[in-house]
Amino acid sequence: MKKTYVIDTNILIQAPYALNCFEDNNLVIPLVVVEELDGLKKAEGEKGANARMAVRMLEECRSRGNLLQGVELAGGGILSVEKNFVDVELPPDLPDDKPDNRILKVCKGLAQKKCDDEQIILVTKDLVLRLKAQIMGIKAEDFITEQVSEDEAQYMGRCEAYIPEDMIKDFKKKGVSSKDVYQSDEEGNHTQPEFTENEFVILKADQSNKKTLLGRVSGKKILPLNYKKSKPYGVSPRNVGQYFMQEALMTKAEEAPLVIIKGMAGTAKTFYALAVGMEKVYNNPNGEYRRIIVCRPNAQFDDDIGFLPGSEQEKIAPLMRPIIDNLEQLLDSDETSRYDDELMLHDKILEVFERGIIQTEAMNYIRGRSIEKTYLIIDEAQNMTPNQVKGIITRAGRNTKIILLGDPNQIDRPFLDARTNGLCYAAKIMKGSPLCWQITLAAEECERSELAMDAVKRMA
């Protein structure tokens, strides 16, 4: 049975290619959506770019036929623009002139004239609009093409397995075959694990609970960590998750060009990423990377940053304050006297930026660039859309390492949630790629303070 999907503006603003994602079903664009796209096409940043792309797609369809009558799409469906149903009555409390309610009029009008076996579905990211649609008896859905399933969202990037006691020496020297390790259920039955490429593994000796080894899946083998004893910029791992994070960050861009790190607040994601970057660029400037670039998405679509006073760096300074906080800890490791001389500490941080070792940029200024030999940190990546994260990853030039950091449970951007944000989308799409290493840090690996750790556990 074919379905008719009514598309809201926010779908096209976040995923302008969405018109090609509904197979052979019919798509309806209310005229008010076209008007909203027209009003947004000159907007700054991602919002304006996506509005322009959506308009171009509509123009391409218009050039092939009459959009009021319907134009066939590549997938076999029909796309049409609907300008009727202005006389459809809404509940008294819903004003006719509000764009969302005009969309509801189209949905209700289509439902009244539909065939018996036709289904009208509103597709929107607006939770309130979906609620109003349900009240009116209209079926409403989110755009699920980019949505991460519950199982995919649970991927931790690590697992536990048992290794025979007599193979421990072999593992330390050259690794072991993934077929030589096993997992055990509650009844003691042994099973062969299904590993993912670059998945980290905690290996436990089957004859001794005290012997634990850390490794990584590479092809059909599990290899020991190469950087277990490293101390980037004087920082030592404090838990298993940080050992795995250090391995992914320290590995050269040729082997690990994309690193995805998820974790709750206080698990040292940003701190560790900066520590490795400073080690690579500042402590050992051997040419591996030219610089560190740090970006943090603006939760307001990056379109209001152009209206702020000052230079680019002054505009984005408030976004980068957490980066400065972490640099303060890195540049002065003495916790007892770190803030005794605030001026000296400020001068140290200023030197790092003046020498170009670390550069900070707004997300919308990355568009269109090809970034080479750069250690690129995207902090708070959970506030990116899937389209944005695709744009960032495809900007990677030769010998560039991209690090996506974030907590899927702390999203500040409208129309995104734990299953539709760019961080989780990238983790889903890149899972199993030999070029992507990812790890999720556990709540008990919080290292910020005893209060932070307690709060993370209690407020999860």
CA distance 455 to 459: 6
Residue 439 resides in a domain: yes
Q: pTM, whole model, 2 decimals?
A: 0.84
Instruction: Verify that 115 and 217 share a domain, yes or no.
Output: no
Instruction: Verify that 57 and 102 share a domain, yes or no.
Output: yes
Q: What residue numbers bound the domain in which 116 lies?
A: 3-141
What pLDDT score was predicted for residue 303? Answer: 46
Q: Which of 240, 241, 198 is nearest to 222 (CA)?
A: 198
Residue 277 resides in a domain: yes
Structure token digits, residue 107: 């949905």
Domain boundary (178, 204, 224) is at 224
Residue 69 resides in a domain: yes
Instruction: Verify that 439 and 383 share a domain, yes or no.
Output: yes
CATH number of the domain at 406, please. Answer: 3.40.50.300
**78-82 and 26-30 strand pairing:** parallel
| CA-based radius of gyration for the chain | 26
CA distance 333 to 233: 10
Number of domains in the chain: 3
Q: What DSSP letter does each residue of 155-211 carry, written as one string? A: --SEEEEEE-GGGHHHHHHH-EEGGG-BEE-TT--EE-----TT-EEEEEETT-TT-
Domain boundary (204, 224, 244) is at 224
Strand order in the sheet with 78-82: 71-72, 78-82, 26-30, 3-7, 119-123, 139-141
Q: Phi and psi of 221, rounded to 5°?
A: -120, 160
Digitized pLDDT (tens) for each residue of the chain, 460 residues in all: 789 999 999 999 989 999 999 999 999 999 999 999 999 998 877 888 899 999 999 999 999 999 999 999 988 999 999 998 988 999 888 988 899 999 999 999 999 987 767 899 999 999 999 999 999 999 999 998 888 877 777 899 999 999 999 999 999 999 999 999 999 887 778 899 999 999 999 999 988 777 899 999 999 999 999 999 999 999 999 999 999 999 999 999 999 999 999 999 889 999 999 999 999 998 887 789 999 999 988 754 444 544 444 555 555 566 778 888 899 888 876 666 666 677 888 888 888 888 989 998 877 777 667 789 999 999 999 999 998 898 889 888 889 999 999 999 899 888 888 888 999 999 999 999 999 999 999 988 887 777 877 776 677 6
Instruction: Verify that 69 and 35 share a domain, yes or no.
Output: yes
Max CA distance (Å), the chain: 80
Instruction: Verify that 191 and 336 share a domain, yes or no.
Output: no
Instruction: Verify that 292 and 424 share a domain, yes or no.
Output: yes
Instruction: Verify that 432 and 291 share a domain, yes or no.
Output: yes
Residue 437 resides in a domain: yes
Instruction: Verify that 189 and 264 share a domain, yes or no.
Output: no
**200-205 and 358-361 strand pairing:** unpaired
What pLDDT score was predicted for residue 301? Answer: 40
Q: Which of 453, 387, 451, 376 is nearest to 425 (CA)?
A: 387
CATH number of the domain at 27, please. Answer: 3.40.50.1010
Residue 149 resides in a domain: no
What pLDDT score was predicted for residue 333? Answer: 67
What pLDDT score was predicted for residue 456? Answer: 65
Q: Which of 290, 293, 268, 287 is nearest to 376 (CA)?
A: 293
Instruction: Verify that 256 and 393 share a domain, yes or no.
Output: yes
What pLDDT score was predicted for residue 337? Answer: 64
Instruction: Verify that 362 and 404 share a domain, yes or no.
Output: yes
CA distance 448 to 5: 47
Residue 146 resides in a domain: no
DSSP 262: E
Domain boundary (141, 166, 197) is at 141
What pLDDT score was predicted for residue 45? Answer: 76
Strand order in the sheet with 200-205: 158-163, 200-205, 212-218, 221-224, 176-177
Residues 295 and 362 sit within 8 Å (Cβ to Cβ): yes
Instruction: Verify that 439 and 328 share a domain, yes or no.
Output: yes
Residues 51 and 301 sit within 8 Å (Cβ to Cβ): no
Instruction: Verify that 216 and 308 share a domain, yes or no.
Output: no
Structure token digits, residue 132: 């109003």
Residues 46 and 387 sit within 8 Å (Cβ to Cβ): yes
Beta-ladder partners of 159: 201
Residue 148 resides in a domain: no
